[in-house]
Amino acid sequence: MYLEDFTTFVCFKLKATNKKVERYLTSEYGEFGINLPQSFIILSLLLKDGSTLTEIGNRAQIENSSLTTMVDKLEAMELVKRQLDREDRRVIRVFLTSKGRELAERVLDAGTKFNQMIKEAIGDEEESLLRSLDIISKCLE
């Protein structure tokens, strides 16, 4: 029986690449005192401040169980604050503090530089890569 080398599997290549991306960005964001998933939360709020946890989780692709703990930590760091919705007091909204907004802008700058580095590395293959990633994502839904 022929056994294909699992390191040639697309899923393995995706995982290995993702691990390198996470490692790189974690070291970049380390100076900010946050990790990669936390950066997605504050960037999500920079995009739409006052989002609910569900909205943040959907945008940042973070499970609710993990999200609550991460927002707790960001709140303890005084980067975000929770507030009850004015119209529906059952809804909790999350807002950046001024300290959080300042940090989010620095994180966005670092993320933008990283994204530009990747775009330069892949050159003309960017559109093809993004299309392939979309196809993979859709086939798994």
Q: For residue 38, what pLDDT is reported?
A: 95
Q: How far apart are CA 32 and CA 39, in angstroms?
A: 9
Backbone phi and psi for residue 90, each to the nearest 5 degrees, phi listed first: -80, -20
Is 82:133 a contact under the CB 8 Å cutoff?
Answer: no
Average pLDDT over residues 60-82: 95
Residue 14 CA to residue 8 CA, distance in Å, equals 10
Domains and CATH numbers, the chain: 26-139 (1.10.10.10)
If you average pLDDT over residues 94-110, what whole number do you get? 97
The confidence score (pLDDT) of residue 64 equals: 87
pLDDT at residue 2 is higher than 80: no
The DSSP string of 112-130 is: HHHHHHHHHHHGGGHHHHH
Tokens of 27: 């070291």
Tens of pLDDT, residue by residue over 18-70, are 999 999 998 989 889 999 999 999 999 999 999 999 999 999 999 988 999 99
pTM listed for this prediction: 0.86
